[in-house]
Amino acid sequence: MATTLTTLAYLVASVLFILALRGLSHPETSRQGNVYGMIGMGIAVVATLLKPGMSAGGIALILLAVAIGGSIGTYIATRIQMTALPQLVAAFHSLVGMAAVFVAAAAFYAPESFGIGVRGNIKASSLVEMSLGLAIGAITFSGSVIAFAKLDGRMSGAPILFGGQHWLNLGLGILLLVLIIAFVGTGNGALFWIIAILAFALGFLLIIPIGGADMPVVVSMLNSYSGWAAAGIGFTIGNLLLIITGALVGAAGAILSYIMCKGMNRSIINVLLGGFGTDSGAAAAAGAGDRGPVKAGSPEDAAFIMKNASKIIVVPGYGMAVAQAQQVLREMADLLKKEGVEVKYAIHPVAGRMPGHMNVLLAEANVPYDEVFELEEINPEFADADVAYVIGANDVTNPAAKTDPASPIYGMPILDVERAKTVFFVKRGMASGYAGVENELFFRPNTMMLFGDAKKVTQEIVQALQK
């Protein structure tokens, strides 16, 4: 009876997780989706604690671990800045990967506790699941650590490349597969740890050649890896909920990675094999050369032109997130709408440093959802726009992606802001974007640079509009 209730509770939790994913697919339902996810996780934890065979000592240790982890998580959640969410997500992915490694080790050294055999005589099927969970978990951990370091500025966001890199990764991947087969056949403890070390190294090598501009896809990909690692370990320990949850996260992350790759005109195979990076030589070549002077304007100039416009499209980017300018941006839009100006927001699939980054920031500022549009929807409208207000975006607006085959971002779909009658580009200076590529748009005759902090510049435009 108790086992049946546990299974039923896991089923309810699984349904709630599916509803959570469905809710997170749209900003309007994302809060509700989060609530479903939290309720599902609460049910899962309680059901696990009440499983038959759980000792009082085991429950006490789990509750202690939950208290420690929950306290740390609460502390981080209350202090984290919105701009630091991408690296936080990468860090959390690394913890999921390491958890899979630890559970695999526990199952290998205490198989009796998991009902998969005895030490030295573990079921072959369990060894397969264990080794896959171990390998994917280790790759997720080291890859996520590198993604965290790049996103947090602790290491350069530029691709790290060396001769024969892809052949080395291919060789290590084949060797890893051979070792897993040998481990399944022998159950040798030394092979277990060799697989772990090799997988840690492979995760490191797969992520270092990926440039900073491609980090949103990397975060999504590592999310998928963490899910498959959890599913593999779920099979090992016979936990139905872990299998379902891991498969949901793995599949959702893989689908999102594919959608983002399609949005950037990249190959999903290249992402999986660590070939998503660009070479520094191309980046340097693309950014080289004197393109001539740029036109610099003032917030008062921008306010006058915007006030007399009929249609304005706002393009937010990571610079807006850094400056925390979303609230004042919405205030500017509200003033313009009172003047009869149509205002829309254009979101690139990889704007910011994680999927949906800009959507979250605009939602935080209570920007109406029906004013926010994705690339495919909004691109045809730039030709009819009087003004494109680019606040903190860079690479996602660079025409070099369409015109310069030598550019590392060539082929990536961009927002066609250059087609607007006037482009206001809010930026601190003339530095290149995260991809290390100079933006051709700065030098176009219809572009006016508004140099300064994104929040301060927008505040000055608001003040000018109120006069």
What is d(CA 411, CA 403) in angstroms, rounded to the nearest whole number?
9
What is d(CA 434, CA 135) in angstroms, rounded to the nearest whole number?
31
Q: Is 274 helix (H, G, I), strand (E, B) or coil?
A: coil
What is d(CA 80, CA 323) in angstroms, rounded to the nearest whole number?
15
Q: What's the start-to-end Cα distance of the chain, in Å?
A: 73
What is d(CA 408, CA 39) in angstroms, rounded to the nearest whole number?
44
Q: Is 314 helix (H, G, I), strand (E, B) or coil?
A: strand
Token digits of residue 310: 């009929």
What is d(CA 311, CA 418) in angstroms, rounded to the nearest whole number?
15
- The CA–CA distances, whole Å, from 385 to 8, 253, 309, 395, 447 equal 55, 35, 8, 21, 14
Task: Name the catalytic one among 214, 290, 301, 395.
Answer: 395
Q: In terms of Cα–Cα distance, which of 419, 448, 361 is closest to 85? A: 361
DSSP 203-233: HHHHHTTS-GGGHHHHHHHHHHHHHHHHHHH
What is d(CA 448, CA 451) in angstroms, rounded to the nearest whole number?
9
Please say if 214 is a catalytic residue. no
What is d(CA 98, CA 92) in angstroms, rounded to the nearest whole number?
10
What is d(CA 266, CA 398) in angstroms, rounded to the nearest whole number?
17
Say which residues have a Cβ less than 8 Å from residue 440's Cβ, sequence separation at least 6.
Answer: 291, 398, 399, 400, 403, 404
Exposed (0-12), middle (13-18) or buried (19+): which is 380, by Cβ within 10 Å?
exposed
Could you give the maximum distance between any two Cα atoms of the chain, in Å?
81
- What residues are labeled active site? 395
